[in-house]
Amino acid sequence: MMQAAVLASGSNGNSVYLETENTRLLVDSGVSARKIHDRLMKFNRSESKIDAILITHDHLDHVYGVRVLARKFGVPVFLNQPTREKARRALRGVNSIEIVRTGEDFNFKDVHIQTIPVPHDSAEAMGFVVTGGGVSLGVFTDLGTATPAVERAIPKLDALVLETNYDPELLRNGPYPKDLQARIRGEKGHLSNEQAADLCGRLASPKLQVVYCAHLSAENNSPNLAYREMRRKLSARPDLRHVRVLMTSRRTVSRMTTISA
């Protein structure tokens, strides 16, 4: 069994919390340590009990709160070398850094962690699959393309935090200049609602229990559009109609879900 919640998700901060019987992890800490504290307290959890922080990439909305948590509690921070170099200022004074190589697996306490390279306009972005308590949870945000490695991971998952960043029509008719729109749609940008939903609808196995729609653009998307597209693709397959679709927010924590073996 595993429990998970998305503490924050969006361009102003991202963090996923998960726990097994013996391990408590954050995937990214892109909001302040105070917000991490406040949002964990909603589940009677404490940031002082976090065992490790996994960092997907160097952008500030994924590393903003790392330094305070790591220095205050001595929490080990797992990231690759290019991310460490690019995020050096955000990690200033952090001595508990553990370098991992993108694409390699490692074990930590009672969990197995798979690192998967993803295409994004950062130093060297990674997604994670965390396996423990007999279940696997994947975190794939900030990727412009679902690569073969990502596609191979999806069928093995019991839970998934997946980017549904934009609705193509809202992006096309929205306030962003054309060059920024092209970057978002590009191979190193972000996944649209349709791309994410198609990925789940094609590749998820019946073992999938929950999908968190994550990293929604405030200007180019809406929770209703992301939810509706994901629900439509999952419901098209009778063996996926049971999957819960949960929305995430930049302002509030999601519900905590239990992922059962």
For 21-44, what is the mean pLDDT? 97
Predicted confidence at residue 28, as pLDDT, reads 98
Closest CA to 112 of 40, 18, 15: 18
Contacts of residue 44, Cβ cutoff 8 Å, sequence gap at least 6: none
Give residue 11's pLDDT. Answer: 92
* pLDDT given for residue 107 in this prediction: 98
Phi-psi region of 134 (alpha: psi -120 to 50; beta: other; left: phi over 0): left
Contact by Cβ (8 Å): 200, 159: no
What is the pLDDT, as a whole number, of residue 221? 97
Decide if 192 contacts 166 (C-beta within 8 A): yes
Return the HEC string of 26-55.
Answer: EECCCCCHHHHHHHHHCCCCCHHHCCEEEC
Query: Residue 124 has what DSSP assignment?
Result: S
Q: 17 pLDDT band (50/70/90 cuts)?
A: very high
What amino acid is encoded at 102 in this protein? T
Using only C-alpha atoms, the chain has a radius of gyration, in whole angstroms, of 17
pLDDT at 122: 97
Considering the chain, what is the average pLDDT of its residues? 97
- For the segment 158-181, the average pLDDT, to the nearest whole number, is 97
The domains found in the chain, sorted by start residue, are 2-259 (3.60.15.10)
Rounded CA separation 154/156 (Å): 5
* pTM of structure: 0.97
177-226 residue pLDDT tens: 999 999 999 999 999 999 999 999 999 999 999 999 999 999 999 999 99
pLDDT digits (tens, 9 = 90+) for 38-82: 999 999 999 999 999 999 999 999 999 999 999 999 999 999 999
Q: What is the pLDDT of residues 73-129, one digit of tens each?
A: 999 999 999 999 999 999 999 999 999 999 999 999 999 999 999 999 999 999 999
